[in-house]
Structure 1
Amino acid sequence: MDLSSNGDQVELDRFVAWPCSANTRAEATVNDMTAAPLRILVISNLYPPHHIGGYEIRCHEVVEGLKSRGHKLRVLTSTFGVTSKNSDGEVFRWLRHDFSEGSAHHSSWVRAAFIIRNELQNQRCLGRVLREFRPDVVFLWNPKHISMSLIPVTRAAGVPICFSIDDDWLARFKPDKDPWFRLCIRHGRNWPVRMVKRLLRWSFTRVGLQSEYGPEDYHHALFVSHYMKNAALRAGRPVSDAEIIHGAVDTSAFRHRPRPGPPAPPRRLLYVGRLVYEKGVHDAIEALHVLRNIYGYRAISLSIVGSGDPAYDAQLQDLTRARSLETAVRFLGSVARERMPVVYQEHHILLFPSLCPEGLPRAMLEAMSAGLAVVGTATGGGGEVLQHDTNSLIFPPGDALACASQVRRLLESPSLFEMIRIHARRTVEERFGMEVMLNHTEEALMCVAREDPVTGVSATDRT
């Protein structure tokens, strides 16, 4: 079995041609110094410093990178993490969110009222920003948990959209299953329901709300990995021409800085990520138990960075006590972004025990850039980064014993540890650097901004 493959036949270093004409692409090239700065509206359900996962951090880095290149950006995001709507003039935390998935709303009528209230606020907020900022392009990152209707609202305003797909929201989205669009669909169980729906649609139209999703058009989509694009294709989304722009890290911030004196044995293990079951953190603790209590490496330790599900966190604490690892496992909780380079420097090996496919794990790239050896599972987009016995060591998901065995190889072979660490850093520098990612993203946005949002024809081609 080839552990470095995630099951999808992909060419890891190939970029799919951006689906616009040659004239448009030439006009949009980042080397065209005469190109005017773009006005870009970014929409994301979450935005730092109030975030949960890695894609929000990448969104922030892309925004800052594009601003440094002279483009004007505004960010429209949810009120997650704040007590009320607020704005600093560039980031508008105005959108209502529903991360409860409706679990707190038992009555269907109460739930319907909740959905309508969200849509009224969110669609109107987007309309206001579109009118006042007048963007050349909307850069949509993740509308899940806010409003999928923001897509047809943008299209109705005649503004082209570029999608950034870092997780499976597009693969899972079905307009007829979305709470808002399901509320507005024409059919119902009986004639009273159909009459109510007809009245609702008439009312929504009167107040200017978009109640129909329209055709599924994702002509301009940027996927963070081949895995995520293939997942969308398997779900029937029309994204065959979409481009792959891998996530990236700032290699100048996450850099290995050798300490003076002889190199220390690789004894400090690290996990970075959310504390939820599908991340497999329990397997990291079980692997530590095998290393210390079965293989006899009593000096080895594990630091766990992150937060998440309180119930799962408690289970991890219980497992640590059950395995008598209280002195060997440190739960560090959430760590500020600016401190993460220091955290990586204090450790030797990153454990990435994820059980589920991910878009492109950020912690993995950061650790590789910082000079850590990665022992992990090649699930999802991770399989496009990790190469077994070259820049990492790979084990099957859910196999704590195999994880411990791979770590043991690094403990017993300093030359293997050094080789893995060096190749990991080289992989990030050559394929996942920030400037490369920003160049491709900027070029794509310029291309989209120069096309007619309805016909897909560039201004150059029309003339």
Structure 2
Amino acid sequence: MKILVVTSFYPPLGSSGHDARCQQVAEALSKQGHRLQVLTSNYRVPPGGVASDKGVFRELILSAVMSDEELRQLSYQDVLAIELENAAIVDYRIERFKPDLVLVWGCSQLSKSLFKRLQDRGLRVAFDLHTNWLQPDVFDMDPWQWWWKQQHSLSARVKKLLMTISGGRRRTQRLLPVYTGSELSFSNAWFASADLKESLMRNGVVGIESVPVVHSALNLSEVTPKRVYTHNGRFMWAGRLSTDKAPELALEAFAQLKDAGEQVSLDIFGMGEPIERKEMRERINEMGLSDSVEMVAIRPGELSEHYANYDALLFTSRCDDPLPMTPVEAMLSGLPCLISRDGGIQEIVKDGETALLYERDDVGAMVQSIQRFLELPDAGASIAKECRQRLMDQHSMEIYVEKVLGLVHQGREV
């Protein structure tokens, strides 16, 4: 089967664990004999291109993340130009490759008109649904969708009226659809977690009731296994330096632990803009934690090499993350994890058996969880090993690929 993967970001220029997972899935499908091409954005592509990019085309144009006010400043021609360019790029790749399946992966900042357009052309389109891009208020922040649905300036109203009278509106939207996420067909789709599915249904997305859940998986060969378990008081935090990932809560917890006389340290593998990293360093210094908390710089793809050097991972997310890849990767490496009760990660772990869970946004509960870990006589070895084994048995890359290919074939028959 020939599969064209369409995604916003792709390693080594990705921005999340799900981008790395996309690459691993593509490689797993290729090993099974499927022919793969990847169509992704030109995000941060160096002048000489990416050396490892055989079959990867970094051509799509991403829209900036914008507020309502910023969207109001965009002209119709500005928005139209990006939509037409992306449509032409996709058409060209479809015509050249002639895929049997288009697998839509990451959709952040990508023209949403593309997906309906692909289905309207009769192409078989599958969706790995691991973010909330279908949620109406998120979906409609796409500049093209926003202009037609929410741009109410006088000039925009006049233009829409004239295009409606002339028939231009119908012709344009046939080429570049304006729609809701619920209008897509999900006969070839799967959710990364039940939590994400339920959240979208609560927020008004319809037509997804029968879409199955296939928990995300990672390739075990990509992680360095932890073999030695001792209490050294070394913890790690990894993620984006954003409020929804709550690194500041980890700092507050370690400030309390320091006041309590606990001999612990925290290394923060923070991903973000230089200003965000600078602000985090300043906060560490202001809180008097520079002797126990350190910022660690890494390049994309290097995090898995570090898990074995720590006692445990502290995961503080509070954004209803559908299924975060950082703790999954850490658990597959055999690293004990202390995880906030947030989003879909709760579906694959059990408190006291495969991880230690605590209430999200609760610094006191986080401190208690860390102290609970420090009291474990085996330094978390039994929890970590049980977790790793369950993930291997139930959520391996081989199982994931088998499930999604089964769904694709089932969807084709339907």
1:98 paired to 2:63 = yes
1:343 maps to which of 306, 329, 347: 306
Aligned counterparts of 1:85 and 1:182: Cα–Cα separation in 2: 35
Query: How far does residue 375 in structure 1 lie from its aligned partner after superposition?
Result: 0.9
Aligned counterparts of 2:173 and 2:367: Cα–Cα separation in 1: 60
Q: Which residue is 2:220 aligned to?
A: 251
Contact 1:350 1:374 (8 Å CA) reproduced: yes
Aligned letter for 1:244?
A: V
> SS at the partner of 2:296?
strand
- Structure 1 residues 68, 405: CA separation in 2 closer, same or farther (over 3 Å shift)? same
Query: How far does residue 442 in structure 1 lie from its aligned partner after superposition?
Result: 2.2
Aligned counterparts of 2:49 and 2:90: Cα–Cα separation in 1: 14
After TM superposition, which residue ranges in structure 1, 4 or more long, deviate above 4 angstroms?
A: 83-89, 102-107, 173-178, 184-191, 309-312
Counterparts of 1:39-438 in structure 2, within 5 Å, are: 39-82=2-45, 88=53, 90-101=55-66, 108=73, 110-172=74-136, 178-184=142-148, 192-198=158-164, 202=168, 205=171, 209-213=175-179, 215-237=183-205, 238-259=207-228, 263-294=229-260, 296-298=261-263, 300-337=264-301, 339-415=302-378, 417-438=380-401
Aligned letter for 1:209?
A: L
Query: How far does residue 56 in structure 1 lie from its aligned partner after superposition?
Result: 1.1
Query: How far does residue 48 in structure 1 lie from its aligned partner after superposition?
Result: 1.1
Contact 1:105 1:111 (8 Å CA) reproduced: no
Contact 1:389 1:420 (8 Å CA) reproduced: yes
Aligned counterparts of 1:186 and 1:410: Cα–Cα separation in 2: 50
Please say which structure displays the higher CA radius of gyration: 1
Contact 2:19 2:106 (8 Å CA) reproduced: no
Query: How far does residue 252 in structure 1 lie from its aligned partner after superposition?
Result: 3.6
> SS at the partner of 2:126?
strand
Aligned counterparts of 2:138 and 2:367: Cα–Cα separation in 1: 41
Deviation track 1:323-371 (CA, whole Å, cap 9, x = no partner) reads 222122221133342x333300111110001111111111111111222
Query: How far does residue 85 in structure 1 lie from its aligned partner after superposition?
Result: 11
Contact 1:271 1:304 (8 Å CA) reproduced: yes
Contact 1:95 1:125 (8 Å CA) reproduced: yes
Contact 2:10 2:20 (8 Å CA) reproduced: yes
- Structure 1 residues 103, 86: CA separation in 2 closer, same or farther (over 3 Å shift)? farther
Aligned counterparts of 2:132 and 2:216: Cα–Cα separation in 1: 15
- Structure 1 residues 102, 377: CA separation in 2 closer, same or farther (over 3 Å shift)? closer
Which of the pair has the greater relative contact order for Cα pairs under 8 Å at 6+ separation? 1
Query: How far does residue 187 in structure 1 lie from its aligned partner after superposition?
Result: 10
> SS at the partner of 1:278?
coil
- Structure 1 residues 177, 345: CA separation in 2 closer, same or farther (over 3 Å shift)? closer
Contact 1:305 1:335 (8 Å CA) reproduced: no
Query: How far does residue 422 in structure 1 lie from its aligned partner after superposition?
Result: 2.3
- Structure 1 residues 121, 84: CA separation in 2 closer, same or farther (over 3 Å shift)? farther
TM-score by length of 1: 0.80
> SS at the partner of 1:306?
strand
Aligned letter for 1:249?
A: L
Aligned letter for 2:200?
A: A
**How many equivalent residue pairs?**
407
TM-score by length of 2: 0.89
- Structure 1 residues 224, 125: CA separation in 2 closer, same or farther (over 3 Å shift)? same
> SS at the partner of 1:401?
helix
Aligned counterparts of 1:105 and 1:113: Cα–Cα separation in 2: 15
Contact 1:187 1:194 (8 Å CA) reproduced: no
Say which is worse superposed, 407-416 or 354-363, in terms of deviation: 407-416
Aligned counterparts of 2:278 and 2:238: Cα–Cα separation in 1: 17
Aligned counterparts of 1:197 and 1:314: Cα–Cα separation in 2: 49
Query: How far does residue 197 in structure 1 lie from its aligned partner after superposition?
Result: 3.6
Aligned letter for 1:348?
A: D
Aligned counterparts of 1:365 and 1:51: Cα–Cα separation in 2: 18
Contact 2:71 2:143 (8 Å CA) reproduced: no
- Structure 1 residues 102, 204: CA separation in 2 closer, same or farther (over 3 Å shift)? farther
Deviation track 1:293-351 (CA, whole Å, cap 9, x = no partner) reads 22x123x21111131255543342222112222122221133342x3333001111100
Aligned counterparts of 2:151 and 2:281: Cα–Cα separation in 1: 50
Aligned letter for 2:230?
A: A
Aligned residues: percent identity? Answer: 25
- Structure 1 residues 216, 268: CA separation in 2 closer, same or farther (over 3 Å shift)? same
Deviation track 1:51-95 (CA, whole Å, cap 9, x = no partner) reads 111211111111111011110111111111125796955111111
Q: What are the ranges of 5 or more consecutive residues in structure 1 without an aligned counterpart?
A: 1-37, 452-456, 458-463
- Structure 1 residues 286, 189: CA separation in 2 closer, same or farther (over 3 Å shift)? closer
Aligned counterparts of 1:343 and 1:437: Cα–Cα separation in 2: 25
- Structure 1 residues 192, 123: CA separation in 2 closer, same or farther (over 3 Å shift)? same
Counterparts of 1:12-27 in structure 2, within 5 Å, are: none
Aligned counterparts of 2:179 and 2:352: Cα–Cα separation in 1: 47
Aligned counterparts of 2:323 and 2:49: Cα–Cα separation in 1: 31
Contact 1:184 1:201 (8 Å CA) reproduced: no
- Structure 1 residues 221, 292: CA separation in 2 closer, same or farther (over 3 Å shift)? same
- Structure 1 residues 201, 235: CA separation in 2 closer, same or farther (over 3 Å shift)? farther
